[in-house]
Homo-oligomer: A and B are copies of this chain.
Amino acid sequence: MHATNIGAIPTTSTQRRPPSSPLLTTLKERFGDRLSTSAAVLQQHGRDESFFPTQPPDAVVFVHSTEEVAFVLSACSADKTPVIGYGAGSSVEGHFLAVQGGVCVDFSQMNQVLELRPGDLNATVQAGVTRTQLNAALQGTGLFFSVDPGADASMGGMVATGASGTNTVRYGTMRDNIVNLEVVTAEGEVVRTASRARKSSAGYNLTQLFCGSEGTLGLITEVTVRLHPLPEAIAAAVVTFPNVRSAVQCVIEAIQHGVPLARAEMLDALALRAINAHSRTALREEPTLFLEFVGSQEQINAQTEVMRELTNVHGGGEFQWASRPEERSRLWTPRHHAYFACLQLRAGSRSLSTDVCVPLTALAECIEQTQTDIAEHQLLVPVFGHVGDGNFHCMVLLDPDSPSEIEAAEAFGHRLVERAIRLGGTCTGEHGVGLHKARYLVREHGQAGTAMMRALKQALDPHNILNPGKVLPRA
């Protein structure tokens, strides 16, 4: 089963809709120096971690409050000018490239931790607060915010892309950790999506509608997230396997047995090679699991006992252990640096960083087929995954100036997505759709599902000013 009509990626502007001169004057009057049209600022806001060509907006506004966001949206709505939200700039799917130009709303200065409510196990922050900033503010409360996508992303951006990351297997994705949102609509209306109760059946789930909407339905200005009690103890382990399948199966059987792993990351041999080169370590260059266990010491002991048995069954090697913070950090640092280590496998390269997610029982097969594909096409692609979620990443290293390499990378990404969907999975587990994967929505959701999404977009953004060109494929 192959899709045939996958169109080209719309990396170039098809239609520019720059702000009118009166709109720019209105914004300048309101924001003064916080409105920028300098080339450097525009360039910086027109590129992300992907290899897509820079596509700058026409202006950038550095907002400080919800009311200011509402002002921008109201003014841009009247002018039918595109508005693009910008958090920490850590997207890998071209989420905020200004393909039609317009006004970029930069949330980096809207970064107040508004309220910590330890007793309710939640906190409210402005959208520009980063996850490490929130966790710093939580010091001393005995609580932490769990979602960790690697990059120090902004909370608004994490909501907008439906982010997740290494400890999703235990604590859930961003979707699972939002209590409510404050959003501003295309017309500049402010909506609180839900109360602060831990659950509700009061009307349509606006919170979840905005989570993963990538700035195309409204701009997120405040986020109330769930917090979790810090575990009593944490232990980390690293263990190698003869092949990817056995590493993957080991984790999946642990999940099936109810072992509450806190993190379970698989890196393939190439990723280990990159790490050794980058970090001057001497890790075995074999498929490797990085594991983290949390709980009381007894719980950790019980969990690790099960993991040792499963490791033996699947031909894994000896566990390397660490429980003291500095040792754990030493053991896990290579994993945390994997992205940059992999980029350095090839000097001057950039990466097509893509992710898919499949049902647990299909994960080993999906990764194996993908590695065969990599070998057949002689590509340089480290693979690593959040195994407990069925989610894995491929970094296709390429020369950004070589059209043929870009084409080969895109073709690989295309086969990867087709494979994942064929196995019952999704074209993206956590990176989001952005500019890159809109062409797969019909393949994954069918014409009727995509039409339903289009109807929702039309209902909330009739003039298509909110991050146009993203999520939905061209009609």
Contacts and interface: CB of A to CB of B under 8 A. Distances in A.
Most interface-central of A121, A173, A217, A451 (chain B CB within 10 A): A121
A192 B195 CA distance: 29
Contact of A208 (B196, B200, B209, B389): B209
A299 interface: yes
Given A121-B256, A302-B296, A198 B390 contact: yes
Contact of A360 (B119, B189, B358, B390): B119
Q: What is the total number of copies of this protein in its complex?
A: 2
A251 interface: no
A193 B429 contact: no
B199 A204 contact: no
A204 B453 contact: yes
A427 interface: yes
A200 B460 contact: no
A203 B121 contact: no
Given A121-B256, A185-B448, A190-B448, A441 B202 contact: yes
Contacts of A39: none
Interface stretch (A25-33, A46-54, A55-63, A430-438): A430-438
Contacts of A117: 359, 361
Contacts of A455: 459-460
A203 B458 contact: no
A296 B196 CA distance: 33
Contact of A120 (B360, B445, B453, B460): B360
A15 to B, nearest CB: 22
A199 B212 contact: no
B430 A199 contact: yes
A473 B360 CA distance: 43
Interface stretch (A239-247, A323-331, A342-350, A418-426): A418-426
